[in-house]
Structure 1
Amino acid sequence: MPNRRSRGRAAVACLSCRQKKLKCDSIKPKCGNCFAKGVECQQGTVLHKPRPTNSRIAQLELENKALRQRYTQLLDEVSVKGREESESLREGPSFQTPGTVNTPRHQYTNDIPHPEAPIERNRSSVSLYHGATSTAYDETAKSSPQDTENIESIADLDRSRHLLFTQTAKQRQLEPFDLAAGRLDFDDVDPEIGKELLLMYWSRQLYTAQIIYRPAFMRDMACGGPYFSKLLLNAIFFVVSKHNPRPELRSDPEDITTAGWKFRQRFTELLRYSFDRSEITTLQALLIVSNALFSRCDERSTSWLYAGNAFNMIIDLGLHVLPSMNSISAEELEIRKRILWGAYSIDKVQCLYQGRPPILRRVNFNVPLRFLDEYDELEQFQGLTYTATTETPAVPSMNVTLLTKLCEVSIIIERILSEIYPGPGLEAKQIQNVNIFADIKSNLKKWRASLPPEMDYLLHPRSDSVILPQSLCLLALYNVLIILSQRPLITENNGRQRSLTAHESVNSCTTAANQIVQILQDYCERFSIDSAPYMLSYATYISATVHARIVALKGKTSNAFQSLLVCRTILQGHKRLYKAAEVAMDNLDKFMSHLGFNITDDNSVTWSGDLSHQAAGYGPGEDVIALPEWLDPVNPPLDLMNSDLLDLDLEAVTQGFSVDGEFNFLMHPFRA
């Protein structure tokens, strides 16, 4: 019996005996490799090639598999590109005179499936997600640890970035030709109106627009692809219609609040056929409509439920994890990342507005925060709906940077909501750990320091600063988070240490509130404040709650009083577009009344109660205060230094902030 070491080998005669055809007495084992090849075995010499180990073979098989996958992906991309180019040449727009329209290439008859028709899945809903604890989890389909390596480490990021940029540029060139040829499906809406509404949407939104990848949406709008649906189209029209002055878009031509209601009715009709299926276009439509229903219509419950269903669809489709099977195109990977991170930001901002706990948690997904398509970064900013004139300076829109920075600060928002405002009964326990507040404040400062200098014009005044409506909103949001993260320290009672901590927190809150007013001033000078995004309206309310506390102690001669008038005036103007702004203003008036003064719509101020400022000569009565001059762009700005804090009674300020114990809606005014 051969021993285990000699298994797989054959005993052969030496070379000399074999040549002489003699029996060899020095029989020696021959390795399996030499035996299979029929050559003399040179074991123990440098000429002998050792047999590869099992680990080396497994490693080579994995490398071979990765190369085959990459090769297949390249073939698919080349094939798709060639098919698109040939189709463009064969069926694309010819050189035709304006007004000439070709016959559409496709018939759009499958947006509303027949109730008895089978549901066909497409690449926008490839697979449903089930984790390892589920009975539906396929253990056999699980990949090896080496195969689940981040796909971005295998693919060439630079090549993917250039490919996406090229595809986006080409699709943007095709958009006007698809419109002229009648290929774009506007769901029976006049093409000129539909085009105008789409341009408003792409230029107006920050996080809600980025969850829709424009190249894929517009391409599939022309050919009936999976990244377009009439449900999503009508959601877009409803969201931006309130910013369009066309009277034909309103149910009542004289009432702007009725703008786009026909699009909402159409959206509701189409949603009946899509609500029970997880589709990318459906969750996108639910998310952007959810955002509009809250700010515009104050339909908090409907908004919350729409968003919740969209988040469930994201998990159901597995968009929160990187694909680990086969390969995925650069476009699909970009779409997945934009949807997930855009939804994450929407969740955090909505929870901030409504004072609700976040649903999407950063710890539950592993998609990196890195967007590869940078076409929108240097695209010229379009001031549609932001300014009264159509002429805007030639500045880049910086959409990719804005989206990335919003997602980064959303991670900090999650910490604020979870660790500082976790809910009734938990806040008192969490507030005892001062390190949480210091860590969050440090994270906020690091985030702001990471902003490009040309975007943060307040910290880096320079001639080449890019002042955009979205960047102003982002800076305002930062200051809101400073106030929300520092406010609880003012009312925390922990003896001697409280005095120092409270004073620092009062200074931080007041500085942030003043900077918000500075941002409002700069916005008024460059853009139309009445059409500002709702995020700026929310920041205005948070700033006003801080100024109101200072006014209750310092009176109408303080800078805080002028800032309070500004905030109230802006909220008054936002009531035209946002129902939520009306709710915020009512809560602000209620808060000021509790502090002992009232401001009417004509800026008449009535003082009442035993206020500290009465000792300085301001007795109860009524005064009429003029608005700050900086609301007129030709006048210089208001000095926003913290001079009001020099002789401020800290204990009185603490009591003023303690009012939130009775009016817990003041920092989250829209809690249902």
Structure 2
Amino acid sequence: MLEEENARLREQLRLVDQAPQQGHGQGASKRVRLDEPSKQAAGRQDSQSEALEYSPTATGQPEGSAFHGPSSGTAIGSSEAAHEETITPVGTNPPQMSGNDATQSIKDRLLAETVRQRQLENVNLRAGKLNFRGVDPQLGMNLLSNFWNRQLYTGPIVYRTAFMRDMADPNNGPYFSELLLYALLFAGSQFTAEAAAARTLPEANATGRQYRAKFEQTLHGSKGLIFKSEVPTIQALLVVSDALFSWCNERSLSWHYMGLAINMIIDLGLHTNQSLRGSSEPASAEATEVKRRLFWAAFVMDKVHSIYQGRPTRLHKRDPKLPIAFLDEFEELESFSSHTYSTQPMTLESPAYGISTWMHFSRLSIVADNIICQIYSEEGTTMQSSELYELAYGRHGLFAQLLDWVSKPKDISAVLPHFLSCGALYFSLKILICRPFLSEDHFVSEETTRVALKDCVAAALDIHDILVIYKQNLCFKTAPHHISYAAYAGASILIRIAAQKSSDSQAHSALRLCMDVLSIQQAYSHGSRRMMEILLRMMNRLGVHVGEFVALGPSSCLTDVPNESEMAEPVAAGPTMDRYIHNLLAIDEYWRNGGQGDLPISESDMNDIELPDVQWPDLDFDKLMNSFIFDPFPAQQDTSGLVSQNELFGLDFGA
């Protein structure tokens, strides 16, 4: 009986969903009065009440294409044709092959289509098929090129193949929209020559102002895009959220846009590996690729924003049923261009390794989610110190999860900015795990505290080494979020060491590099300004001085751009650099596993770059521990649901 009732309700919903389409014309334009039911009540006089109206075209997602989980009465029942998503190439019958042969066939088809569409981009541009909505076509293509180049670290939010093909279609296909176009143009404006030459932050922001205005007008316009979940709308919201977060001082609006995008992802069921309710056709390979790329890009972005803003994550590892597997591998071996990462752009003699790097980012973000939810949460603060220590250092704890990630093979060039960002995030997460144990709130024993402190110091020095590689090959002005945050996390540890050393120590030298990075970036990123403010307070309290650094205010204008003239010219990836970051990770895994047996690399491999020597035995342990005790200054924003236990989470603690 229950199944029959559910079937009856589903049929009613289907008929309701079809009603607007069947009445397209007169019925579709009819406005519904919300006070109509009151006319049926005897003796009721509602003539004085104002009638509220809404347009059916401004409602949310049709029930027939919305996602509902197993607990919902409208979910797919066991008697229906619920099925795991089957991938079918566009325009073909479902593959008859099985296993690896079928998957490889799909990969080949997607790769061939991407190669074809890349060739057609300039053809369509010259033919006038790409409508940039009033923007000069060549300028529009340049801005899109900037955006595609930055997707290597922000994540594959937009599937370029589908977007560019549908943009050239006179009727515009499902993966193109004006809203998304304006979002991409706005994001690409961050890396124009005008933005780089701007002497003030308002001047830099002005380069993309017109595109942002058009984005806002379209989002809140008469089409009601904000009320309906669609893939291009989700992509546009994520792109603008990232730009507002990294470029503009609008963290709250950035958080809001990303929240809308995540809600739409759930509404469409993009986090599952099943077709939507009511869909009897298997998903095309392209639709599956769009879904996977979009979801995992949102998943990683969610963790980055959570750490920076000190707020709960909204997508968790229990949510995704999608595998971390991308079928179109064109970006893997595509030549890497440094044109948005360097003052002297060039194409390196190295593949971009875009797919494998993003798979590593996705896996690492799952560990990041565990760290945030288990340590930096209300539950984490109420745990006994011994329980929390076991959670971090136990056999299956957070450190073990990091080591599982680092043990995976990574045949990637070390000088690629997105891979350096991945390594920087890894070492930053190490510090985030250890940092709570350096306070009285989570004191277990002197021995365990020493272990945590030593791990923090080791991670800070590894971050310094990554910054050295980045400095020798790329430009810090437009470095990814993970590089600036890693510089901040490393500096927060190095300051404590430098406080016990003379001014000519290598601890001071390593700290100065971290401060240089943030000093350069704060001219282009508001987040780096906040980091500089916290670090300078800390340095003042501990009496550490490594140079004349100033934290720019939120509304300050830069009159003297920090100088990067001492940086080496960009060079192609050499074998030493290719090996170096892998050696760092190998050494890290070796010592975390007890340091048994021979070193995983030769001693000569580690002598190519000079490592700072902090002379650990000479440090005063008690004095070092006391330097981690301070009172927070007032938080700049609400962090309900989480407790910021230190200066690294939420950027609201200081000296």
Q: TM-score, normalised by structure 1?
A: 0.71
> 1:127 corresponds to which letter in structure 2?
S
**What secondary structure, in the 3-state scheme, does the structure 1 residue paired with 2:226 have?**
coil
**What secondary structure, in the 3-state scheme, does the structure 1 residue paired with 2:243 have?**
helix
Q: Which has the larger radius of gyration?
A: 1
**What secondary structure, in the 3-state scheme, does the structure 2 residue paired with 1:297 have?**
coil
**What secondary structure, in the 3-state scheme, does the structure 2 residue paired with 1:554 have?**
coil
Give the Å deviation of 1:134: 2.7
Measured in 1, the distance between the counterparts of 2:186 and 2:449 equals: 45
Give the Å deviation of 1:327: 0.8
- 8 Å CA contact retained: 1:419, 1:430: no
- 8 Å CA contact retained: 2:312, 2:372: yes
- Could you list the per-position Cα deviations for residues 30-52 of structure 1 after superposition, in whole angstroms to 9, with x for gaps in the alignment? xxxxxxxxxxxxxxxxxxxxxxx
Give the Å deviation of 1:279: 0.8
Relative to structure 1, is the Cα distance of residues 633 and 203 closer, same or farther in structure 2, using a 3 angstrom cutoff? Answer: closer
Give the Å deviation of 1:431: 6.2
Measured in 2, the distance between the counterparts of 1:578 and 1:252 equals: 12
Measured in 2, the distance between the counterparts of 1:472 and 1:248 equals: 22
User: What is residue 656 of structure 1 aligned with on the other side?
Assistant: 627
1:312 aligns with 2:263: yes
Give the Å deviation of 1:150: 6.8
Measured in 1, the distance between the counterparts of 2:127 and 2:168 equals: 10
Relative to structure 1, is the Cα distance of residues 480 and 157 closer, same or farther in structure 2, using a 3 angstrom cutoff? Answer: same
- 8 Å CA contact retained: 1:525, 1:633: yes
Counterpart pick for 2:188 among 234, 240, 249 = 240
1:531 aligns with 2:483: no
User: What is residue 488 of structure 1 aligned with on the other side?
Assistant: 436
Relative to structure 1, is the Cα distance of residues 633 and 382 closer, same or farther in structure 2, using a 3 angstrom cutoff? Answer: closer
Give the Å deviation of 1:322: 1.6
Counterpart pick for 2:322 among 358, 367, 378 = 367
Give the alignment of 1:304-453 within 5 angstroms.
304-324=255-275, 325-423=280-378, 426=381, 428-429=383-384, 432-438=387-393, 439-452=397-410
**What secondary structure, in the 3-state scheme, does the structure 2 residue paired with 1:210 have?**
coil
Relative to structure 1, is the Cα distance of residues 404 and 595 closer, same or farther in structure 2, using a 3 angstrom cutoff? Answer: same
Give the Å deviation of 1:373: 0.8
Relative to structure 1, is the Cα distance of residues 249 and 529 closer, same or farther in structure 2, using a 3 angstrom cutoff? Answer: closer
- Could you list the per-position Cα deviations for residues 288-337 of structure 1 after superposition, in whole angstroms to 9, with x for gaps in the alignment? 21112122112111111111111000000011112244311111111111
**What secondary structure, in the 3-state scheme, does the structure 2 residue paired with 1:395 have?**
strand
Counterpart pick for 2:468 among 514, 518, 521 = 521
Relative to structure 1, is the Cα distance of residues 141 and 275 closer, same or farther in structure 2, using a 3 angstrom cutoff? Answer: farther
1:668 aligns with 2:649: yes
User: What is residue 189 of structure 1 aligned with on the other side?
Assistant: 135
- 8 Å CA contact retained: 1:376, 1:397: yes
Give the Å deviation of 1:135: 3.9
User: What is residue 95 of structure 1 aligned with on the other side?
Assistant: none
- 8 Å CA contact retained: 2:473, 2:568: no
Measured in 2, the distance between the counterparts of 1:628 and 1:269 equals: 39
User: What is residue 611 of structure 2 aligned with on the other side?
Assistant: 640
User: What is residue 38 of structure 2 aligned with on the other side?
Assistant: none
Relative to structure 1, is the Cα distance of residues 189 and 141 closer, same or farther in structure 2, using a 3 angstrom cutoff? Answer: farther
1:158 aligns with 2:104: yes
User: What is residue 479 of structure 1 aligned with on the other side?
Assistant: 427
RMSD: 3.3
- 8 Å CA contact retained: 1:242, 1:577: no
Relative to structure 1, is the Cα distance of residues 397 and 225 closer, same or farther in structure 2, using a 3 angstrom cutoff? Answer: same
Relative to structure 1, is the Cα distance of residues 594 and 669 closer, same or farther in structure 2, using a 3 angstrom cutoff? Answer: farther
**What secondary structure, in the 3-state scheme, does the structure 1 residue paired with 2:325 have?**
coil
Give the Å deviation of 1:530: 1.4
Measured in 1, the distance between the counterparts of 2:140 and 2:386 equals: 51
Give the Å deviation of 1:342: 1.0
- 8 Å CA contact retained: 2:182, 2:212: yes
Give the alignment of 1:89-238 within 5 angstroms.
118=57, 127-137=65-75, 139=77, 142-143=80-81, 147-148=83-84, 156-223=102-169, 224-238=172-186
> 2:522 corresponds to which letter in structure 1?
K
Relative to structure 1, is the Cα distance of residues 472 and 305 closer, same or farther in structure 2, using a 3 angstrom cutoff? Answer: same
- 8 Å CA contact retained: 1:251, 1:258: no
Gaps of at least 5 residues in structure 1 are 1-114, 456-464, 604-626
- 8 Å CA contact retained: 2:166, 2:176: yes
1:285 aligns with 2:236: yes
**What secondary structure, in the 3-state scheme, does the structure 2 residue paired with 1:643 have?**
coil
**What secondary structure, in the 3-state scheme, does the structure 2 residue paired with 1:275 have?**
helix
User: What is residue 43 of structure 1 aligned with on the other side?
Assistant: none
- 8 Å CA contact retained: 2:427, 2:460: yes
Relative to structure 1, is the Cα distance of residues 154 and 560 closer, same or farther in structure 2, using a 3 angstrom cutoff? Answer: same
Aligned residues: 520
Give the Å deviation of 1:593: 2.1
- Could you list the per-position Cα deviations for residues 4-44 of structure 1 after superposition, in whole angstroms to 9, with x for gaps in the alignment? xxxxxxxxxxxxxxxxxxxxxxxxxxxxxxxxxxxxxxxxx
Measured in 1, the distance between the counterparts of 2:442 and 2:198 equals: 57
RCO (CA 8 Å, sep 6+): is it higher in 1 or 2? 2
> 2:65 corresponds to which letter in structure 1?
S
Measured in 2, the distance between the counterparts of 1:176 and 1:648 equals: 61
Give the alignment of 1:577-656 within 5 angstroms.
577-597=524-544, 601=548, 631=567, 639-656=610-627
> 1:557 corresponds to which letter in structure 2?
D
Relative to structure 1, is the Cα distance of residues 505 and 259 closer, same or farther in structure 2, using a 3 angstrom cutoff? Answer: same
Counterpart pick for 1:560 among 507, 513, 519 = 507
Give the Å deviation of 1:406: 0.2
- 8 Å CA contact retained: 1:630, 1:637: no
Give the Å deviation of 1:442: 1.8
Relative to structure 1, is the Cα distance of residues 301 and 665 closer, same or farther in structure 2, using a 3 angstrom cutoff? Answer: farther
Give the Å deviation of 1:435: 2.1
1:540 aligns with 2:487: yes
User: What is residue 262 of structure 1 aligned with on the other side?
Assistant: 210
- 8 Å CA contact retained: 2:434, 2:456: yes
> 2:226 corresponds to which letter in structure 1?
F
Identity over aligned residues, as a percent? 33
Give the Å deviation of 1:498: 2.0
Measured in 2, the distance between the counterparts of 1:247 and 1:205 equals: 19
Give the Å deviation of 1:588: 1.2
Measured in 1, the distance between the counterparts of 2:468 and 2:326 equals: 33
Relative to structure 1, is the Cα distance of residues 245 and 399 closer, same or farther in structure 2, using a 3 angstrom cutoff? Answer: same
- Could you list the per-position Cα deviations for residues 98-139 of structure 1 after superposition, in whole angstroms to 9, with x for gaps in the alignment? xxxxxxxxxxxxxxxxx979579999x981111233344354
- 8 Å CA contact retained: 1:127, 1:318: no
Relative to structure 1, is the Cα distance of residues 382 and 248 closer, same or farther in structure 2, using a 3 angstrom cutoff? Answer: closer
Counterpart pick for 1:271 among 192, 208, 219 = 219
> 1:478 corresponds to which letter in structure 2?
Y
Measured in 1, the distance between the counterparts of 2:252 and 2:646 equals: 17
- 8 Å CA contact retained: 2:491, 2:514: yes
**What secondary structure, in the 3-state scheme, does the structure 2 residue paired with 1:486 have?**
helix
- 8 Å CA contact retained: 1:249, 1:260: no
Farther-moved stretch of structure 1 (530-539 vs 393-402): 530-539
Measured in 2, the distance between the counterparts of 1:150 and 1:545 equals: 49
